[in-house]
Amino acid sequence: MSAPVLVFAACAVACVVAHIAILLSTVRGQMTVAVGTVTRPRAAVEALWALIPVLILALVLTATWARVREQPLRPPEVMKVAR
């Protein structure tokens, strides 16, 4: 496996773990009782705001994976130095 694929895989796994933690926190937060005058947002609204970043990240990771896969196909670029 090449280095870019390993880095991408590590980042993707880290993102999945982080988003699972966010979603679990959202679910656990709905089970707590509001204290005093602080009210909890509705469960559907909170779930929506927790899922929007997941969808956006999925799009970004998909586009990034396409770039990582095509990377070996392109010849390495050589920078021309001005004389």
pTM of the model: 0.64
Residue 5 pLDDT > 70 = yes
Beta carbons of 54 and 19 less than 8 angstroms apart = yes
Residue 66 pLDDT > 70 = yes
pLDDT for the residue numbered 13: 93
